[in-house]
Amino acid sequence: MKELKTATSQAIADFQTQNPGWQILEVAGEPRLQREYTFADFSAALEFTNRVGAMAEIENHHPAITTEYGKVTVGWWTHTIKNISGQDLKMAAKTDALFEAKS
């Protein structure tokens, strides 16, 4: 697996312009991309969680996912660099695509 590098501040700004639902939060001293998705019920939220998990397994890059009734929160960052990588930006965009394709 190739070494991932911290995304530039310009790449992150460009990503946020194109994907406005994502926030940058600091959790345990590390920045991460985070977005909350809403659903009609727990079943729909769980289905989305499973789809994100399956995608993460294929890409071998895994997010933090919290599933609640009607809500899923997804966080992307790269543990090895303790920051946001270009791979995280790619995976966040793919997560949005999964959400848009849910219907």
CATH number assigned to the domain comprising residue 86: 3.30.1360.20
pTM of the model: 0.93
Does 12 fall in a domain?
no
User: What is the C-alpha to C-alpha distance for residues 20 and 35, in angstroms, rounded to an integer?
Assistant: 9
Residues 6+ apart with CB under 8 A from 27: 75
Does 8 fall in a domain?
no
Residues of the chain under the 70 pLDDT cut: 1-2, 103
Q: Could you tell me how many residues make up the chain?
A: 103
The pLDDT of residue 103 is 52
The pLDDT of residue 3 is 72
Structural domain boundaries, residue 50: 23-100
Does 86 fall in a domain?
yes
The pLDDT of residue 4 is 85
The pLDDT of residue 97 is 96
CA 64: distance to chain centroid?
A: 8
The pLDDT of residue 2 is 62
